[in-house]
């Protein structure tokens, strides 16, 4: 390993950091809002949230915005690790600037991380798959591996036992009802599911799925439209439902929760699992408290993720992504 500060030119560091920022553009985000900005100045890469892309109704507290930005941060970190860079990450470095979420520096080189290499390869393949999963169960070995990865990012993972999945379904259903009768939420949902092509964001109809009987309800992104995907003949019988959670809902913990989300989704993709984040139950206060009961009151729920296997062989179409020039600001 090269010691920090040795053998790293300014040009090399800037190139590595720009590549990392570009890798983050495919990170998952609530409603595909992509609510982050990067600034490369000198040999420092800064990640900031983009308040103008926060969902004012769906995510009034900004929790999902921080989770989304944490996902972008993890994608960037994976890029650097896979390329053999030591990365120093300073999270929430300035109290007076809460939108500044992280600073990244690359002081030296190390051996490329093969696990990170697998995750990098999974970035372009990862999709939110809203179709029904089949009967094949997720193995305990896979779940244990995912739990360790989540914990390595500073968060925790809880597997919802089969006999308590109905409670999870109730919490999601309660949130869906609250959102359905909230005209402001309906307007916001419509805005982010009917985006002009030039915005390169939002949830396109091609990735939405028709409603069907499920163990846990799936959000209907197009209640007045025609979703592009059929749910399939299955009903999520083999699906595993996990909750990413932390000890507090402070910004730094939510940011780490987003990094854990990214680690879980990429590792699951690399291992052949289909994934679908479920955010409804954390968007509304009362259903979020119901999720807290599933955690026995020991943590703050950040996100639910459905894991499983899809029988269909056709891939889910990719969601649009903003151009690098719109997200990454490069200075001398």
Is pLDDT at 5 greater than 50 in this prediction?
A: no
Residue 187, burial from CB neighbour count under 10 angstroms (0-12, 13-18, 19+) = exposed
pTM here is 0.96
11: closest CA among 233, 293, 282, 330? 330
Domain match, 43 and 155 both: no
Domain match, 156 and 295 both: yes
Residue 129 near residue 273, CB atoms below 8 Å = no
- pLDDT computed for residue 227 by the predictor: 86
Distance CA 288, CA 280 (A): 9
Distance CA 45, CA 233 (A): 46
φ, ψ at 243 (rounded to 5°): -115, 120
Domain match, 158 and 228 both: yes
Number of domains in the chain: 2
- pLDDT computed for residue 6 by the predictor: 59
Task: Domain of residue 151: give its range.
Answer: 140-308
For strand 36-41 and strand 44-49, is the pairing parallel, antiparallel, or unpaired? antiparallel
Q: Is residue 130 part of a domain?
A: no
Q: Is residue 26 part of a domain?
A: yes
Domain match, 116 and 150 both: no
Domain match, 164 and 299 both: yes
Distance CA 71, CA 255 (A): 8
Q: Is residue 134 part of a domain?
A: no
**Residue 258 host element (H or E):** helix 251-270
Q: Is residue 297 part of a domain?
A: yes
Other Cβ atoms less than 10 A from the Cβ of 269: the count is: 21
Look at the alpha carbons of 307, 308, 310, 314 in this order and tell me if their dihedral is positive or negative: positive
- pLDDT computed for residue 312 by the predictor: 76
Instruction: Taking residues 141-163, report their average pLDDT.
Output: 98
Residue 236, burial from CB neighbour count under 10 angstroms (0-12, 13-18, 19+) = buried
Q: And the tokens for 260?
A: 């854990």
Domain match, 96 and 75 both: yes
Domain match, 86 and 222 both: no
3-class SS at 188?
helix
- pLDDT one-digit tens code per residue, 293-323: 999 989 999 999 999 999 877 889 999 999 9
**Residue 18 host element (H or E):** helix 10-23
Domain match, 174 and 104 both: no
Domain match, 119 and 165 both: no
Domain match, 110 and 150 both: no
Residue 174 near residue 290, CB atoms below 8 Å = yes
Domain match, 165 and 208 both: yes
Place of tokens 């509304």: 284
C-alpha triplet 11, 15, 20: angle, nearest 5°: 150
CATH number, domain containing residue 108: 3.40.109.10
Q: Is residue 210 part of a domain?
A: yes
Q: And the tokens for 118?
A: 């697998």
Q: Is residue 158 part of a domain?
A: yes
- pLDDT one-digit tens code per residue, 66-105: 999 999 999 999 999 999 999 999 999 999 999 999 999 9
Residues 6+ apart with CB under 8 A from 268: 142, 146, 274, 275, 307
Domain match, 155 and 304 both: yes
- pLDDT one-digit tens code per residue, 160-203: 999 999 999 999 999 999 998 999 999 999 999 999 999 999 99
């Amino acid at each position: 390993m090269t010691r920090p500060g040795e053998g790293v030119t300014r040009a090399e560091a800037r190139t590595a950091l720009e590549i990392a920022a570009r890798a983050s553009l495919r990170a998952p985000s609530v409603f595909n809002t992509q609510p982050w900005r990067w600034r490369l100045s000198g040999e420092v890469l800064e990640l900031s949230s983009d308040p103008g892309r926060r969902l004012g109704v769906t995510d009034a507290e900004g929790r999902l915005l921080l989770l989304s930005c944490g996902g972008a941060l993890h994608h960037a970190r994976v890029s650097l690790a896979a390329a053999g860079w030591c990365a120093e990450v300073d999270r929430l470095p300035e109290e007076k600037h809460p939108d500044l979420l992280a600073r990244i520096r690359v002081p030296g080189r190390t051996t490329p991380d093969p696990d990170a290499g697998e995750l990098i390869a999974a970035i372009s393949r990862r999709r939110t798959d809203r179709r029904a999963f089949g009967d094949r169960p997720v193995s305990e070995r896979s779940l244990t591996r995912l739990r360790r990865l989540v914990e390595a990012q500073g968060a925790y993972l809880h597997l919802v036992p089969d006999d308590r999945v109905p409670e999870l379904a109730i919490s999601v259903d309660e949130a869906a009802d609250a959102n359905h009768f909230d005209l402001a939420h309906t307007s916001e949902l419509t805005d982010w599911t009917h985006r002009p092509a030039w915005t390169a964001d939002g949830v396109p109809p091609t990735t939405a799925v028709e409603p069907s009987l499920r163990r846990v309800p799936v959000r209907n992104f197009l209640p007045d439209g025609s979703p592009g995907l059929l749910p399939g003949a299955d009903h999520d019988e083999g699906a595993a439902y996990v909750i990413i959670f932390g000890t507090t809902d402070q910004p730094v913990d939510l940011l780490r929760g987003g990094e854990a989300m990214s680690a879980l989704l990429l590792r699951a993709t690399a291992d052949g699992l289909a994934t679908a984040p479920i955010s409804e139950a954390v968007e509304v206060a009362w259903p979020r408290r119901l999720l807290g009961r599933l955690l026995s009151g020991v943590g703050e729920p950040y996100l639910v993720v459905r894991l499983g296997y899809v029988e269909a062989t056709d891939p889910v179409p990719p969601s649009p992504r903003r151009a690098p020039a719109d997200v990454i600001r490069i200075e001398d």
